[in-house]
Structure 1
């Protein structure tokens, strides 16, 4: 059953939620409604009801359970993207499997994020991820990212500890300014680190690929 649509404030981020667990769905809906900067379009328990309700609706971001009774969040997210190419998609999963995002082609990955229900997911972290994803950034669950380390012999293995730390924060969806604040260093230092990381990994902004998205993919494929 849908939670009634909210008449959000002008400029509020329009969010849809698809989550099959009733209590979790209601808690997320209440959190979004109370946050003040989100317009909760509705919340549904499965892909079929969400498709019926959301066809033709305008959204900024969708929060989708990775496993649904009648499908999965990636398939539903792709359908939403076909309806609205600019929409952000946040996958919420009970399993710690960020590599599910690797099912997406390079051109699709921008604006897709992954959060785990079983890690240190917080209300603040969820809202921040929704905002960042609505802006087109890709956010990987911070608690899961922090457990990963470079695969031996990979491109990431050649990065310095500080460079890998910066890349990890890029993968968590932070802007360079936010990374600088987190690490207590100058914005210019972060800019230099990011440029060096791109060079070391042979990542270029050629107009076809977003270098930050490519960096996130490399983080997923070259860590364990």
Structure 2
């Protein structure tokens, strides 16, 4: 792990960008490489090898923050990406996943005010790991867990095995079915739970919904 993570900020809201600068200033293990107000300036100053993690607002006045992040990461595959959004939902993150060459982290601007949350997300992005705003994940899971009771017994069994950490292949072996059958079950489960994010995150959110629902039943 590198001793200092070089961070570049791309945020068009000046007051918010200044706040982020103050949060990061003097923070052990972090240094501010660039702080710019738009996509065009970012494309000029953030060159391959000049920064380790770019923190980008998804909605910039002069361009698409998601498209900018994708371009920067394609030109510098080691670059970590942390997306920020003013929306208190995962919708922007869901749309961003198709553009991401590798896992990106995502925080609402509300959560980025917490320095520990911000630093954890930056550190994860530098490692190539993914942090999704726990507040937003909790809200999504809360909406989903009430739908768990609508699953058929077979679907509930598949979800319980997912919650145990089994892969699709292991679930197929456990149930004595082909992997394709498990995949089809999961697609229906995700639809019932209202989960429309990418496969990896749907699996996490479905597990959270299952655990929340079963813990409530057990506590009755």
TM-score normalised by the chain length of structure 1: 0.65
Which structure dedicates a bigger proportion of its chain to helix? Answer: 2
Instruction: Note the alpha carbon deviations across 1:37-84, whole angstroms, 9 max, x for none.
Output: 112101111111111111344322111011101112211101111210
- Distance, in Å, in 2 between the alignment partners of 1:126 and 1:198 is 36
The aligned residue for residue 117 of structure 2 is: 125
Instruction: Note the alpha carbon deviations across 1:121-153, whole angstroms, 9 max, x for none.
Output: 511101101101111111111001111234554
Structure 1 residues 127 and 134 mapped into 2: Cα distance closer, same or farther (>3 Å)? same
The aligned residue for residue 76 of structure 1 is: 68
Q: Name stretches of at least 5 consecutive residues in structure 1 with no aligned partner.
A: 1-9, 164-192, 203-212
Q: Name stretches of at least 5 consecutive residues in structure 2 with no aligned partner.
A: 172-181, 184-197, 210-220
Structure 1 residues 120 and 19 mapped into 2: Cα distance closer, same or farther (>3 Å)? closer
The aligned residue for residue 135 of structure 1 is: 127
Aligned-partner SS, 1:64: strand
Aligned residues: 176
- Distance, in Å, in 2 between the alignment partners of 1:106 and 1:138 is 15
- Distance, in Å, in 1 between the alignment partners of 2:25 and 2:93 is 28
The aligned residue for residue 56 of structure 2 is: 64
CA drift at 1:11: 2.5
Where has structure 1 moved over 6 Å in runs of 4 or more?
A: 154-157, 220-224
Larger CA Rg, structure 1 vs 2: 2
- Distance, in Å, in 1 between the alignment partners of 2:156 and 2:63 is 34
Of 129, 147, 150, 2:139 maps to 147
Once the two structures are overlaid, the 10-residue window that deviates more, 25-34 or 41-50, is 25-34
Aligned-residue CA RMSD (Å): 3.5
- Distance, in Å, in 2 between the alignment partners of 1:218 and 1:103 is 17
Once the two structures are overlaid, the 10-residue window that deviates more, 18-27 or 148-157, is 148-157
- Distance, in Å, in 1 between the alignment partners of 2:64 and 2:87 is 13
The answer to whether the aligner puts 1:30 opposite 2:22 as a matched pair is yes
